[in-house]
Structure formats: structure tokens, C-alpha cells
């Protein structure tokens, strides 16, 4: 990998004219891996111009032909999967297995988008009146862009990219400046996959680059994943500029544990959910709400698995959890743990101020468990985005559901129980878009929408599946009259 990352504009790699470059840091070692340009607005202008040119022919390319380079990209990603996984682990800190899991989810989105000839079909009625038919057809929007976060550098760009181009749009990616190397590799594969120049482009950068995309009149739609304040900002600025927007924000995911849950299985799944990817998942279990007799046993078990989890450099054998992304995150997470204590929570497992031998400079926070977290405190409501599980107690399922719904976010809510009736009540009443029943990370497969609600999502149509197809197409309705008599003359 070169020492300076490049942009991919109009089918060629281009060095940015950026005045500023940022170091990309391996969070396990605190060593710089490369540098990334903060591309100026002029480079967004160049990408939009190339995309607009390419759109003229790309939208006319039959959908069955548009998906051929996507099939090729899937094969290339499979071939380079191990290399991609190592890049994700190095720039993002995940374990190798977690990076492999992320790639699986990324590839699945390409597979689903390869069904576009059927997925983007419209519908019609013959004879809405005598000799008059009506059709709905889906057409692409034009140039669209996605702005993605640090925590899934290989997967989240592919929540959007395959659907956008399969439906006939031209797509610009602005990846997170903290983890841009996965996208650089993805675009090396895209270059080999055979897309026409300008159909897929990569512009690295930060806020200035994002603002240029939001303000450019040639960009028709914006897809965003990241924190809630930035999601709100992007949603409102895109909308003010007349663009479609789908903006996925932060999360604080509650999980109810009923007394009839299989406690051994539940605890293992909860530990994977809360501490997997160092808690930096928008579907991480963040608050456990134990009901009745579940309380004491859950705390005992979870404390045990939390304190025995092996933390370290994600590419080393046996490591179960890596570092958090940067020193600011580490300081913020450790500060929130302290705040929880001040609010009256009991620190059962303390993951602060721990070092990993051989990686003393890494940004490690070890698994942490806080019990008796007061429901009205900050720690109960704030997204921590680190390996911290807060435990609350409820006397019955009604109180548990009230606690689940007493929060601003709505990305995911889960329940562990052996009762179908309790599970159904929960599924019905929980105020979140992704629900898990005896599941710790209720991540929708690529053919389902990633359905965040409330402060976790701004927009109408989510990422993935049919929502992706609808987001990237506009419906056109055609009413046509062909009177019978006109054919009688032949
Ligand atoms: P972030 O909001 O800091 O950054 C996301 C993207 O926005 C990056 O590309 C960044 O360059 C850009 N950006 C940041 N600040 C900006 C600004 N002021 N103006 C314009 N652009 C700006 O998020 P992050 O720290 O990279 O990611 C973590 C967050 O993402 C967490 O809150 C997590 O819950 C959320 N997330 C949500 C989902 C979901 O599906 N809901 C999935 C993954 C991550």
C-alpha cells in the first residue's frame, strides 16, 4: 500500500491536491499505517462530473449486463478475502474472525443486488379503462453518494454501492477517514471488475468533502451511516438541498433477560454482543435488563465471561477482542464508566487502565460490567460505543418493556426467554426497528432492510434489500391509450 492513499475518479487513481493529510493509525499498536487526504470540494466536483457523464450510458445498459461486473466483484472479494480481513483488522482493530464475518456480510449485499433484474421490476394494470393500460417503472436517480463510519469499513460501503449501481446509478463513496484502507483495496478490486469509468468513484476526506457532496446540485441522493448528531446534520442539509437521504445514526441497545432464559447460552451470546468488536457495533447489546430471578445468576455469569475475555491485537491467535478506535474513544469510554459509578452504579468488572503486553501503546479498554445502573442516569441513555455492559433490574416484563422503550434510540431491542407469549408481547411492543428473540445481534440479512427507528435513523427507506432498490430508484407511472379500433385498419 502506498504511503498516501489515492482517490479513484473517472476510472483512474488520482493523487489528491489536499492541503491536509491525516495519519491512519493501527489502534492496537498506535503506529501509522498510511496517510489519507482530506480532499477539497474541487475533487468532489470532478467526481460528480465524471459520474454524470458515465450515467448517460450506464442507465441505458440492460440490468442483466449491469450486474455482470458485480458478479466479478463478488468473486474478486472472495479471492482477496483474507487480505481484506487483515486490512480491516489492522486499521479498525477487530479480530481476524470478526473481520471475516464483516466480509461475509459485505459480499452478501453484492449477491442480493445481482438479483436486480427481478428486484427492480415495476407493476402494471391492463384496462384501467377500455383500451387504457397503466404501468409503473423504476428508473435510476443519477449520481448518488454514501458517507460511511469507522466501525465496519468493508461492510457498510456495500450496504449501498451494489444496489446503487445495479439499479443504474453512478455512485461516489466517501469512506471514514479513520479507516480508508479497506475502501482503497475494495476499489482496486472494482477497477478489475469491469465497471465503466465513472460508474464507481472513491473520494477520501472529512467534513469539507462531505459538505461538497451535500451541496452539489448534481448529487441526487445521500446515504449515511455514523453518529446521531452527524446523521441529523446530513439529513437536514441534504433535504434542504432537495436530495433524498437515508441517514443511520447511533444506538443504545437494550436486551431483556427473563428468568426462564437458558442462562448459559444467554450469557455467552450477551458477552459476544456487548464485547464483540470491542462494543463498537451499532447492534451491540449495551443495556441488560434482568427480570426477577434472572438477576443474580446473570451478573455472576457475565462477570465471569467479561473478566476472562482475551484482549489484544486482533491478528494474534486466540484474541477475542481488540482495541477501540482511537485515544479519544478510549478516554470518552473510560470517562463514562467513571460517570456511571458517580451516578450510583456498581462496577462489577472494571476494564479501565489495563495494558496488553507487547502492545502497551494500543487503545485498549477491557470488558466492563456495571450493575444497578439507574435508569434515569446519563450512563443508561448515552451511547458508549465501547465494551461496557450496563445492567438494570426489572420486577416483571411490563417494567422491562417500559425500560426498553424509555430511550431516544431505536436501533435494536432483544429478549431472551423460553416463553412464546412473552416473546410475542416483546416483538409487538418494543420501540425499535430490529428485534432479536434469543438473539444478541439482530443484524438483518442483506435481503432485509436495516430498520433503525427514532434517533437511530432519519429518512424513510433503510439500507439493504428492497428498501435499497426503492431508495435508488424513482417511480414513473405511464398511462397509455390504444383504442381497439385503431388496429382494425390492418
Ligand atoms: P461519525 O458520525 O463520526 O462519522 C461518520 C462519517 O461522517 C465519517 O465518514 C466522517 O468523515 C463524517 N463526518 C463526521 N463528522 C462530520 C461532520 N461534522 N460533518 C460532515 N461529515 C462528518 O461516526 P463514526 O464515529 O465514524 O461511527 C460510529 C457511529 O456510527 C456510532 O454512533 C454508531 O452507532 C454509528 N453506526 C450506526 C450504524 C447504524 O446502522 N445505525 C452502523 C454503524 C455505525
Architecture of domain 7-249+456-478: 3-Layer(aba) Sandwich (3.40)
Question: Does 151 contact ligand 1 (Cβ within 6 A)?
Answer: yes
User: 298 pLDDT band (50/70/90 cuts)?
Assistant: very high
Gap between the Cα atoms of 3 and 26, Å rounded: 14
pLDDT of residue 150: 98
pLDDT of residue 488: 85
For residue 145 the three cell numbers come to 453518494
Which 3 state secondary structure label does DSSP give 68?
helix
Q: What is the pTM of this model?
A: 0.97
The residue extents of the domains of the chain are: 7-249+456-478, 253-437
Active centre residues (catalytic): 282
Share of the chain above pLDDT 90, in %: 98
Question: Does 450 contact ligand 1 (Cβ within 6 A)?
Answer: yes
Distance 111 CA to ligand 1 centre (A): 26
**What values do phi and psi take at 42, rounded to 5?**
-60, -30
CATH 3.90.10.10 fits 253-437, yes or no: no
Least Cα distance to 171 among 62, 36, 55, 249 occurs for: 55
Question: Does 159 contact ligand 1 (Cβ within 6 A)?
Answer: no
State how far the alpha carbon of 164 is from the alpha carbons of 189, 248, 254, 370, 385, in Å: 17, 17, 32, 42, 29
Distance 241 CA to ligand 1 centre (A): 21
Per-residue pLDDT tens over the stretch 25-79: 999 999 999 999 999 999 999 999 999 999 999 999 999 999 999 999 999 999 9
pLDDT of residue 160: 98
Those residues whose C-beta lies under 8 Å from the C-beta of residue 134, and which sit 6 or more positions away, are: 124, 125, 128, 477, 478, 479, 480
**What values do phi and psi take at 347, rounded to 5?**
-80, 105
Least Cα distance to 91 among 149, 40, 145, 14 occurs for: 149
**What values do phi and psi take at 37, rounded to 5?**
-80, 145
Residue 313 near residue 95, CB atoms below 8 Å: no
Gap between the Cα atoms of 230 and 264, Å rounded: 39
Gap between the Cα atoms of 245 and 248, Å rounded: 10
- For range 292-297, the mean pLDDT: 92
- For range 284-305, the mean pLDDT: 96
Question: Does 310 contact ligand 1 (Cβ within 6 A)?
Answer: no
Per-residue pLDDT tens over the stretch 426-437: 999 999 999 999
| pLDDT surpasses 90 at 274 | yes
pLDDT of residue 341: 97
Burial 261-296 (b: 16+ CB within 10 A, else e): bebeebbebbbbbbbbbbbbbbbbbbbbbbbeebbe
Per-residue pLDDT tens over the stretch 359-371: 999 999 999 999 9
Q: Residue with the nearest Cα to atom 39 of ligand 1?
A: 248
User: 3 pLDDT band (50/70/90 cuts)?
Assistant: confident
Distance 151 CA to ligand 1 centre (A): 9
Distance 291 CA to ligand 1 centre (A): 34
* Pocket test residue of 27, 149, 210 for ligand 1, highest count of atoms within 8 A of CB: 149
- For range 200-219, the mean pLDDT: 98
pLDDT of residue 99: 98
* Angle (nearest 5°) at CA 302 between 301 and 306: 125
Distance 204 CA to ligand 1 centre (A): 15
pLDDT of residue 321: 98
| pLDDT surpasses 60 at 347 | yes
Question: Does 277 contact ligand 1 (Cβ within 6 A)?
Answer: no
Please give, one letter per residue, the 3-state secondary structure of 279-334. Answer: HCCCCCEEEEEEECCHHHHHHHHHHHHHHHCCECCCCCCCCCECCCCCHHHHHHHH
Question: Does 230 contact ligand 1 (Cβ within 6 A)?
Answer: yes
Q: Residue with the nearest Cα to atom 9 of ligand 1?
A: 176
Question: Does 409 contact ligand 1 (Cβ within 6 A)?
Answer: no
Residue 193 near residue 77, CB atoms below 8 Å: no
Question: Does 248 contact ligand 1 (Cβ within 6 A)?
Answer: yes
Q: Residue with the nearest Cα to atom 43 of ligand 1?
A: 282
What mean pLDDT, rounded, does the chain reach?
A: 97
Gap between the Cα atoms of 204 and 5, Å rounded: 8
Residue 367 near residue 387, CB atoms below 8 Å: yes
| pLDDT surpasses 70 at 2 | no
Those residues whose C-beta lies under 8 Å from the C-beta of residue 153, and which sit 6 or more positions away, are: 88, 91, 92, 175, 176, 179, 180, 181, 182, 183
pLDDT of residue 470: 98
Lowest-confidence segment of 154-163, 462-471, 481-490 by average pLDDT: 481-490
* Pocket test residue of 216, 227, 409 for ligand 1, highest count of atoms within 8 A of CB: 227
Least Cα distance to 399 among 378, 438, 429 occurs for: 429
Gap between the Cα atoms of 292 and 272, Å rounded: 23
Ligand 1 atom closest to the Cα of residue 230 is 2
State how far the alpha carbon of 83 is from the alpha carbons of 77, 277, 342, in Å: 9, 19, 44
Question: Does 163 contact ligand 1 (Cβ within 6 A)?
Answer: no
Q: Residue with the nearest Cα to atom 30 of ligand 1?
A: 226
Least Cα distance to 244 among 145, 148, 120, 166 occurs for: 145
Ligand 1 atom closest to the Cα of residue 457 is 41
Q: Residue with the nearest Cα to atom 26 of ligand 1?
A: 149
Per-residue pLDDT tens over the stretch 386-399: 999 999 999 999 99
Question: Does 147 contact ligand 1 (Cβ within 6 A)?
Answer: yes
User: What count of residues does the chain have?
Assistant: 490
| pLDDT surpasses 90 at 490 | no
| pLDDT surpasses 50 at 240 | yes
Gap between the Cα atoms of 175 and 172, Å rounded: 10
Ligand 1 atom closest to the Cα of residue 150 is 26
Residue 57 near residue 196, CB atoms below 8 Å: yes
| pLDDT surpasses 90 at 418 | yes
Distance 175 CA to ligand 1 centre (A): 10
- H-helix segments, 22-129: 41-58, 63-66, 68-79, 81-92, 96-113, 116-119
pLDDT of residue 1: 44
pLDDT of residue 489: 80
Question: Does 210 contact ligand 1 (Cβ within 6 A)?
Answer: yes
Distance 209 CA to ligand 1 centre (A): 14
pLDDT of residue 306: 97
Distance 14 CA to ligand 1 centre (A): 25
- For range 228-247, the mean pLDDT: 98
| pLDDT surpasses 50 at 459 | yes
Per-residue pLDDT tens over the stretch 106-165: 999 999 999 999 999 999 999 999 999 999 999 999 999 999 999 999 999 999 999 999
Question: Does 153 contact ligand 1 (Cβ within 6 A)?
Answer: no
pLDDT of residue 455: 98
Gap between the Cα atoms of 253 and 340, Å rounded: 17
Amino acid at each position: 500500500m502506498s504511503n498516501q492513499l489515492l482517490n479513484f475518479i473517472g476510472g483512474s487513481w488520482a493523487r489528491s491536491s489536499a492541503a491536509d493529510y491525516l495519519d491512519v493509525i493501527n489502534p492496537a499498536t498506535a503506529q501509522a499505517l498510511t496517510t489519507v487526504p482530506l480532499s477539497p470540494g474541487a475533487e468532489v466536483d470532478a467526481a460528480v462530473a465524471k459520474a454524470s457523464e458515465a450515467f448517460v450510458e450506464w442507465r441505458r445498459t440492460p440490468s442483466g449486463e449491469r450486474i455482470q461486473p458485480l458478479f466479478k466483484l463478488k468473486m474478486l472479494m472472495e479471492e482477496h478475502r483474507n487480505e481484506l480481513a487483515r486490512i480491516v483488522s489492522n486499521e479498525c482493530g477487530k479480530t481476524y474472525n470478526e473481520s471475516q464475518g464483516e466480509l461475509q456480510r459485505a459480499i452478501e449485499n453484492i449477491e442480493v443486488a445481482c438479483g436486480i433484474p427481478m428486484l427492480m421490476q415495476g407493476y402494471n394494470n391492463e384496462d384501467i379503462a377500455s383500451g387504457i393500460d397503466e404501468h409503473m417503472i423504476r428508473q435510476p436517480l443519477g449520481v448518488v453518494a454514501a458517507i460511511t463510519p469507522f466501525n465496519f469499513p468493508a461492510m457498510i460501503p456495500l450496504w449501498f454501492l451494489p444496489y446503487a449501481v445495479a439499479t443504474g446509478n453512478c455512485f461516489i463513496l466517501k469512506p471514514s477517514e479513520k479507516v480508508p484502507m479497506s475502501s482503497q483495496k475494495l476499489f482496486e478490486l472494482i477497477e478489475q471488475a469491469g465497471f465503466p469509468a465513472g460508474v464507481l468513484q472513491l473520494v477520501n476526506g472529512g467534513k469539507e468533502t462531505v459538505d461538497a457532496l451535500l451541496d452539489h446540485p448534481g448529487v441526487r441522493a445521500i446515504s449515511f451511516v455514523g453518529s446521531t448528531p452527524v446523521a441529523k446534520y446530513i439529513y437536514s442539509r441534504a433535504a434542504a438541498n432537495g436530495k433524498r437521504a437515508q441517514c443511520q445514526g447511533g444506538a443504545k441497545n437494550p436486551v431483556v433477560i427473563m428468568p426462564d432464559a437458558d442462562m448459559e447460552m444467554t450469557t455467552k451470546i450477551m458477552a459476544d454482543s456487548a464485547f464483540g468488536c470491542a462494543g463498537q457495533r451499532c447492534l451491540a447489546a449495551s443495556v441488560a435488563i434482568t427480570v426477577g430471578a434472572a438477576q443474580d445468576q446473570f451478573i455472576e455469569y457475565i462477570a465471569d465471561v467479561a473478566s476472562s475475555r482475551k484482549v489484544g491485537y486482533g491478528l494474534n491467535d486466540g484474541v477475542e477482542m481488540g482495541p477501540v478506535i482511537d485515544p479519544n474513544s478510549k478516554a470518552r469510554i473510560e470517562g463514562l464508566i467513571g460517570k456511571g459509578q458517580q451516578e450510583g452504579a456498581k462496577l462489577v468488572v472494571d476494564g479501565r487502565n489495563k495494558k496488553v503486553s507487547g502492545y502497551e501503546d494500543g487503545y485498549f479498554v477491557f470488558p466492563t460490567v456495571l450493575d444497578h445502573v439507574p435508569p434515569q442516569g446519563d450512563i443508561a441513555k448515552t451511547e458508549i460505543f465501547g465494551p461496557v455492559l450496563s445492567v438494570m433490574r426489572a420486577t416483571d416484563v411490563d417494567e422491562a418493556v417500559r425500560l426498553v422503550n424509555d430511550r431516544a434510540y431505536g436501533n435494536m431491542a432483544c429478549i431472551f426467554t423460553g416463553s412464546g407469549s412473552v416473546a410475542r408481547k416483546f416483538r409487538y411492543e418494543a420501540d425499535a426497528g430490529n428485534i432479536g428473540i434469543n438473539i444478541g445481534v439482530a443484524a438483518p440479512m442483506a435481503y432485509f432492510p436495516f430498520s433503525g427507528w427514532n434517533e437511530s435513523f432519519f429518512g424513510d427507506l433503510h439500507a439493504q434489500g428492497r428498501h435499497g432498490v426503492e431508495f435508488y430508484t424513482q417511480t414513473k407511472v405511464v398511462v397509455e391509450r390504444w383504442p381497439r379500433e385503431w388496429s382494425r385498419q390492418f
